Structure 1
Amino acid sequence: MFPTYINSRLRVLALAAVLAPVAFSCSKDLDQSPSYLASPEVVYRDPEQIQQVLARLYATLSVSGQNGGVDRSDLSFIPADYANYLRAYWKVQELTSDEAIIAWGDAGLPELNTNTWNADNQFIRGMYEKIFFQVSGCNDFLRNTTDEQLASRGITGASADQVRQYRAEVRFLRALSYYHALDLFGSVPFADETFQVGSGALPTQISRADLFAFIESELKAIEGSLGAPRQPGYARADQACCWTLLTKLYLNAQVYTGTARNTEAVTYANKVLAPSAGYQLSSTYRFLFLADNNTSVARNEIILPVVNDGLRTQSFGNTTFLVHASVGGSMSATEAGVNGGWFGIRAKSNLVDLFPGGGASTDARALFYTAGQTKQINTISSFNDGYASTKWRNVTSTGLPGSGFPPAGNGDFVDTDYPLFRLADVQLMYAEAVLRGGTGGTAGTALSQVNAVRARAKATPLATVSLQDILDERGRELYWEGHRRTDLIRFGKYATGYNWPFKGGVAAGKDIEPFRTVFPLPNTDLVANPNLKQNTGY
């Protein structure tokens, strides 16, 4: 059984005493092994320390480094708050879409706001390096926990069986990061645990189709080794996480490989939607984004959270960023459960217009703050340009502030967990896959899944559902959760034929080059590894 900090909230940076921060440029991305204060021979001889390594791999999604990442970042070239995995992922998925804009002028952010980035963008590089930091850590774990290694170190019986389950979870975490690489960058350097670290060899580049096949094979291989849905404990990878990622992989297969795989998407969505999996929509939409979403009814909808704790998993990324950066203008920071606003992110008008009635919509998901704000964005750096959002908050479903609020904390850090995977997303993916021709489902069930999501929001049920309805519903249901760029690309609306404020660098928006459906490999990595070829257009 995992200790409380895993089973509940990853309450400590479990590897602070085991794993030293790995500060590196992404040169030789995967030709590395994390540096240890104790040698692998010592760490991987002790089942408790093996568990701590697993804890740190989960924590990589949430924190920027040791000591909360505030002063000891995993990456050396970029401030710790920029190097947070989830914060970087949110920015490249949301700021480059029709949903969000940020007021700040840090080098690289204006280019994300305007879809004009290049291969030297520090935020794109931060995302790329954090992906491969995680992959290298997972490879190291797998390299050191084979049956042969365990036996040679005296780990047998129940302890060895437990480590084998950990291995399945680590393979899932690696597949998740490689999925992000697949989606964001396409063709990337590749290595698994068989790569000979320290041999002087550099990773070779894998095609997008081959990386798709690797992720697919990994997820299928570990499906039976992961725990049943909701059984391993909160925030741990289980079979439902595996099924959800396979659903996402197959739904986007046309983009990634040129071949649609919608029937497989239906198949794996059905596994998550089955009553035996045990997931239910939260009775209240807002509860999904509050400080007690790990204990309230929202927990029944969340399939895979990235955990946050205002006292024990402190960083300026994850939902701490989302709560603080959403607050500005005349908004109350205290009502948001923090000590101040960062005057950062607002909604683009396209998002507001998805809701009937706009900022005054009765849809429960239209969590906009309009006082003193204009819907239209004329000046990106002005927080008052664009409606703000109250979606992410550090208060509980009963109105209490999160644990990081005074007197326990100073109000900097939040408790709200980030629902990376949740049931409503799977319901909408099921409906989309059926409408795209996937077998194993029906049009009637597709409609009922969409209407179930709408009913929770008190939205009028649809009589029929189209693919455009699905895209719009995903925008209403999942905005500011890191899905939108991928969705727009899948629907063919990202580069051309659909515009939003400041897309392409002009206020009204304009078409951008089709090559921008993937990001560039950072120039630093191209210089370091001659095996790599830049994505077309950069």
Structure 2
Amino acid sequence: MKKYLILSLTFVGLLILNGCTDLTENVLDEASVAGLTDKQAADGNIAPVYARLPDLFLHTNYFAIQEISSDEAILPYRGGTDWGDNGIYMALHQHTSTSTDPNIRSTWLLLAQGISRSITALNTLPNINDGNVKVYMAEARGMRAYYNMLMLDLFGLAFGKDDPQGTSQILRGEQALDYVKSEFLAVEPDLLTTVGPGRLTKGAVWGLLARLYLNAAVYRDRYAATINFKAEDMDKVIEYTDKIINSGQYQLSKDYFSVFNSDNHDNKELIFAVDQRAELNGHNRLAYFSISGDQFPLPAFPAANGTDGPSITPDFYQSWATAYAPQDPTVDPRFFKQNWTIPADSCIAEANFNMNRGILRGQQYGLLRVNGAFVRCGANYRVGKLFHVTRNRPTLPVTFTEQVDFSVAGSNYNTGYRVLKYEFSKKSQSGRNLGDADIPIVRLADVYLMRAEAKLRKSNDAASALADVNTIRAARTNPAPALTAMNLDLLLRERGFELYWEMVRRTDQIRFGKYEGTWTEKTNADRQKRIFPIPQTAIDGASNLPGYLVQNPGY
């Protein structure tokens, strides 16, 4: 009898919600899905494999634990009333998180669900007579590898499992690395090159393999005082990045911020991305998370505002300021894009209202809202100097300062330079829904930077690495000044300039030996904090198998 899993079942029967012991989903037989064509059944099996990605990349899940734990982002207890959350964001930043942290637990569960759904698809698709099954099987297996790759990076382990009713084998270190690697290699021949960035393609797997080999030394010896990179690993990074670059399928965008626009799904720089188009129920949280609660990007929707979340640290800002002194960092088009120049008090047509992008500093101007409605001047909108009205601090200007920390003064609503990298969807009624911008997982600029790093680590080929970095800089409209030298420290700085707010910073800092360093409000130098604690709920859920799921050292 054929067995189909349809999309409506994707939230049913996930024992993983209470632990990681049994990655199982319920499957309905064909009698329950009468009328489905084989194509619909095949589509209904692969869709859940990708369905958790938007939630995984939510601002309080993968973004928080990759960015706020690094030197790039900080989230204080805003005004003494917002984002306190029992200190979890302060703990993330200071590397003192515990196994009960809700954001870490949520990220774990989403990854486990992704693995579970991939296994279900792999066991159901072979029973469906549809021409897409072979490709879908490769995608499901590849996505299982991707979710396990994130598990390995974040928690130091991977789950090996094929039978939905079986118990996962827990893999660590070299064994986990080899497993993920072999799974990617197994599926690459059957993947397509023509389905866009929202699905796993050959290019996506090449990029993920390059990233896996680049971090292989870390994954083999997680707590090493000195990370020993193998030349053969770097050769593989170069091999797979060459495949992508030489394919001719991808292009660096002339407009840097177009890579993060709400219509970026067809942007040629994207290789693998979270499909965030509104019709697929994307969300806007990476757009609204950092900006002020008194910044309103959409004249049509007076409820769509920011949330005064994280800012960049002064340390990260100074990496820009020092690099370009005595010039302002705006000489680099990745730092800031000015979409308007307005007087202190003026009117603007709705069609011309488009917020500045990038790193936002100083006094902010925008739509003025009174009693829940924007102030109008005829058919246009009044734009002026903003104050923290929504925070009941109407005399405090929305003036973003460089300094931000966990002190009372440093935690105020105006502290810290903010980031608006991902464009607000023009359809978002609340600022939290209908986010059209696909979230990059692998893009071409990162591929060039990975290749540059591999060349430096393998043979200190600074000239070739410099050429790769300057290729990216030269590609942008009003290009950033070309660099004249290259080394690993400069390359880490360049990765920060190119990839900030893209959820790679923690992984980068670990690989470059900087994660135990000191920055704003963070002094913890414990190497055991390179990975996060396994959620206590997962350990408790596996308590029927003594010794099966062991907590990571240091927690």
TM-score normalised over the length of structure 2:
0.77
Shift of the alpha carbon at 1:511? 3.3
1:308 partnered with 2:299: no
1:536 alignment partner in structure 2: 553
Which one of the candidate residues 133, 153, 176 is aligned to 1:211? Answer: 176
Residues 1:32 and 2:23 aligned together: yes
Give 1:527 deviation, angstroms: 2.0
Matched to 1:209, the amino acid is E
Q: Greater CA deviation, 204-213 or 420-429?
A: 204-213
Q: 1:454 aligns with which of 473, 476, 483?
A: 473
Counterpart of 1:115? Answer: 95
Structure 1 counterpart of 2:285, one-letter code: F
List 4+ stretches of structure 1 deviating above 4 A.
Answer: 21-26, 40-45, 83-87, 335-338, 357-360
Structure 1 Cα separation of the partners of residues 216 and 279 of structure 2: 40
Specify the SS of the correspondent of 1:130: helix
Taking a change above 3 Å as real, the CA distance of residues 312 and 528 of structure 1, as seen in their structure-2 partners, is closer
Contact 2:294 2:306 in 1 (8 A): no
Q: Using the TM superposition, give the Cα deviation of residue 282 of structure 1 relative to its aligned residue in structure 2, in angstroms.
A: 0.4
Distance 2:189 2:169 in 1: 30
- TM-aligned CA deviation for residue 291 of structure 1: 0.7
Q: Distance in 2 between matches of 1:41 and 1:438?
A: 61
The alpha-carbon distance between structure 1 residues 126 and 166, as it changes in their structure 2 partners (threshold 3 A), is same
Distance 1:484 1:163, change over 3 A: same
For the 8 Å contact 2:59–2:285, the answer to whether it is kept is no
Structure 1 CA distance for aligned equivalents of residues 539 and 551 of structure 2: 7
Q: Determine if contact 1:309/1:404 at 8 Å carries over to the other structure.
A: no
Question: Which has the larger share of strand?
Answer: 2
Indicate if the aligned counterparts of 2:58 and 2:285 stay in contact, CA closer than 8 A.
no
Tell me the equivalent position of 1:279. 250
Aligned counterpart in structure 2 of residue 56 of structure 1, from 45, 48, 52: 48
Return the letter of the residue paired with 2:330. S
Matches within 5 A, 1:15-164: 16-21=7-12, 26-36=17-27, 38-39=28-29, 46-63=38-55, 87-103=60-76, 104-107=83-86, 108-146=88-126, 149-150=127-128, 155=129, 159=130, 161-164=131-134
Q: Which amino acid aligns with 2:144?
A: R
Give the structure-1-normalised TM-score: 0.79
- The code of the aligned residue for 1:376 comes to Q
Tell me, in whole angstroms, the C-alpha distance in 2 between the residues paired with 1:98 and 1:410: 27
CA distance in 2, matches of 1:381, 1:57: 40
Count of aligned positions: 461
1:116-164 residue CA offsets vs partner (Å, 9 max, x unmatched): 1011111111111111111011011112233xx34xxxx2xxx2x4201
SS in 2 for 1:29: coil
1:457-513 CA-to-partner distances (Å, cap 9, x unmatched) read 522112221111110000000000000000000011101xx321111xxxxxx1331
**d(CA) in 1 for partners of 2:486, 2:459:** 15
The correspondence of residues 238-387 of structure 1 with structure 2, limited to 5 A, is: 238-258=201-221, 260=230, 261-274=233-246, 276-295=247-266, 299-310=267-278, 312-315=280-283, 320-328=284-292, 331-334=295-298, 339-355=304-320, 356-357=324-325, 360-366=329-335, 367-370=358-361, 371=363, 372-379=399-406, 381-387=411-417
Tell whether the 8 Å contact from 1:311 to 1:403 is kept in structure 2 after alignment: no
Shift of 1:172: 1.3
CA distance in 2, matches of 1:336, 1:243: 42
Q: 1:493 to 1:84 in 2, by over 3 A?
A: closer
- Distance (whole Å) between structure 2 residues aligned to residue 130 and residue 40 of structure 1: 28
C-alpha spacing 1:204/1:330, structure 2 compared with 1 (3 Å): same
TM-aligned CA deviation for residue 39 of structure 1: 3.6
Please point out which of 145, 165, 169 is paired with 1:175: 145
**Structure 1, gaps ≥5 residues long:** 1-13, 64-82, 395-401, 504-509
Distance in 2 (CA, whole Å) between partners of 1:391 and 1:336 is: 21
The aligned amino acid for 1:454 is R
- Aligned-pair RMSD on alpha carbons? 2.7
Of structures 1 and 2, the larger Rg is shown by 2
1-structure distance, mates of 2:188, 2:116: 22
- Structure 2 CA distance, aligned partners of 1:128 and 1:85? 13
Moved more, 519-528 or 376-385: 376-385
Contact 1:345 1:383 survives alignment (8 Å):
no
The offset of 1:233, in angstroms, is 3.5
Hey, what does 2:529 align to over in structure 1? 516
* Partner in structure 2 of residue 80 of structure 1: none
Q: Structure 2 stretches of 5 or more lacking a match? A: 77-82, 222-228, 336-357, 364-398
Deviation, structure 1 residue 16: 4.8
Of 538, 542, 551, which aligns to 1:525? 538
Distance 1:40 1:87, change over 3 A: farther
Measured at CA, do residues 112 and 28 of structure 1 come closer, stay the same or move farther in structure 2, by a change above 3 Å?
A: closer
Share of identical aligned residues, percent? 30
